[in-house]
Structure 1
């Protein structure tokens, strides 16, 4: 899920400190930047290299497919459909994230480079994504891609998805005037029985979490716990997302030094073990 609205420009700028700071940035002597990079570089590597990451993708797609297939046994007055995000849900943009973050100097430069990368239409599919989508298509279930990619690049995104052999019977529901997907969800729900949602961010699901920050996000997910793995299927993405707000609602507006402090503070330790080690 890629948000590029004006409210997320700060994220585009600041995520370079959290994801892909280059050695050139580190040479400037900003130890805070170096420390933030070190905290996230393993997450980037995990998504690109770990067998466990691939296993989680297969697990989500297999679980979703079984649920979708089972839904065919139930009567419905509307045609069945699924709704899913694109980036880090069925297409992989982590290499692009790391590359752009390594060179972007500010939010505008990140955004410009990101849009240029979208126009290259060269993203790869996530493990098992094409197979999953084509099996769903063969069941006669409609597939709707609801993405916060820019509408100005929707033709390039279409080209990319076609090159990956993804079913393309419906137009991509790209970001319009808001990153909130609710209106786009509602429009699909008017005509279709949506039997599954897939995404990598909590806002990819119809649980009224858009704009919510802090621990209230956990409360909303807990309230909808019975639907995850049943109707809602989450793909792993520890690199970026609106979960940053759970560290601090204004995390990405802080100085780099303060960001380091807040990230460190967010990690819970075991007081009893700490005392035992000290003794």
Structure 2
């Protein structure tokens, strides 16, 4: 998933583990403060066995569901829809590189477009094997991504270099990050038996543009589909979840973002009082 216009260099789980007090933070070091809050999440994705295990878990669960769907009659050919970034290809080293040097007021998108054009992203653990098995089942694979259409030739080059099955053109971001129209175009002709993504907007649950606790409510409303037809890949580094910290988080200065991220971390007040004495 990639659909934001400014770096989301924040992570609530990292903020909870770093001291990161925002008192006295000024604009000159706010970018570094944000990166500090994100670095543990980045390290977890790059290094932990648990991250790899969750990737395998999602792909294995999706494959078993897809294979089981073949036993059901279908008037349309079967297909799956999946996101690209942090769903089957890994951009976290690029995220880390950009976020470690970007300054307040600089465009994250310019750096990201340069990264796309390099066609250097790696496959996520188990992704190639999973998609090759799906392809052997005769199920069509549609990559529905919010990568730029202007860079789609480089994205195609990247996917082919990684040996991903590549029959259908990538459905890249056109005039909106909302994937609904692209989903509908596929579902018109295909029986879509599974969706995979790292962001709630990668699933057809009408969550695009929704912020705050309403995002949680929509996921709860569709809870019976997750792990059944919808399969989520782990990504604590970036995503639409930032709107649950503040709907306008990415429009803020880095200094204000530091304050909002720190404020978003929930504490256990009784325990905090007890250990502070």
Counterparts of 1:184 and 1:213, CA distance in 2: 22
Indicate the residue corresponding to 1:2 in structure 2: 2
Counterparts of 1:115 and 1:257, CA distance in 2: 25
1:76-115 equivalences in 2 (<5 Å)? 76-105=74-103, 109-115=107-113
Query: Which has the larger displacement, 248-257 or 236-245?
Result: 248-257
Q: Is the 1:80–1:142 Cα contact (8 Å) retained in structure 2?
A: yes
Shift of 1:267: 1.1
User: What is the CA deviation profile of residues 152-198 of structure 1, one whole-angstrom value per residue up to 9, with x for unaligned ones?
Assistant: 11111111101111000111100111100000000000000000000
Q: TM-score, normalised by structure 2?
A: 0.90
Shift of 1:274: 1.9
Counterparts of 1:164 and 1:230, CA distance in 2: 27
Indicate the residue corresponding to 1:24 in structure 2: none
**Cα distance change of structure 1 residues 186 and 269 upon mapping to structure 2, 3 Å threshold:** same
User: What is the CA deviation profile of residues 52-100 of structure 1, one whole-angstrom value per residue up to 9, with x for unaligned ones?
Assistant: 0000000000000000000011111001000000000000001111112
Equivalent residue of 2:142, what SS?
strand
Indicate the residue corresponding to 1:22 in structure 2: none
Counterparts of 2:257 and 2:170, CA distance in 1: 36
**Cα distance change of structure 1 residues 146 and 73 upon mapping to structure 2, 3 Å threshold:** same
Indicate the residue corresponding to 2:219 in structure 1: 221
Indicate the residue corresponding to 2:184 in structure 1: 186
User: What is the CA deviation profile of residues 20-42 of structure 1, one whole-angstrom value per residue up to 9, with x for unaligned ones?
Assistant: xxxxxxxx983433332221100
Counterparts of 1:107 and 1:155, CA distance in 2: 29
Indicate the residue corresponding to 1:41 in structure 2: 39
Q: Is the 2:11–2:38 Cα contact (8 Å) retained in structure 1?
A: yes
Counterparts of 1:274 and 1:116, CA distance in 2: 45
User: What is the CA deviation profile of residues 132-152 of structure 1, one whole-angstrom value per residue up to 9, with x for unaligned ones?
Assistant: 000000000000000011111
Counterparts of 1:141 and 1:29, CA distance in 2: 51
Query: Which has the larger displacement, 120-129 or 29-38?
Result: 29-38
Q: Is the 1:78–1:193 Cα contact (8 Å) retained in structure 2?
A: yes
1:9-88 equivalences in 2 (<5 Å)? 9=5, 11-12=6-7, 15-16=8-9, 30-88=28-86
1:173 maps onto 2:171 in alignment: yes
Report which structure shows greater RCO (CA 8 Å, sep ≥6): 2
Shift of 1:257: 3.0
**Cα distance change of structure 1 residues 142 and 72 upon mapping to structure 2, 3 Å threshold:** same
Counterparts of 1:17 and 1:145, CA distance in 2: 27
1:244-263 equivalences in 2 (<5 Å)? 244-263=242-261
Shift of 1:114: 1.7
The Cα RMSD (Å) is 1.9
Counterparts of 1:207 and 1:261, CA distance in 2: 31
Q: 1:234 aligns with which of 232, 241, 248?
A: 232
Shift of 1:262: 1.6
Equivalent residue of 1:243, what SS?
helix
Shift of 1:108: 6.2
Paired residues, what number?
Answer: 264
**Cα distance change of structure 1 residues 233 and 39 upon mapping to structure 2, 3 Å threshold:** same
Unaligned runs of 5+ in 2: 13-25
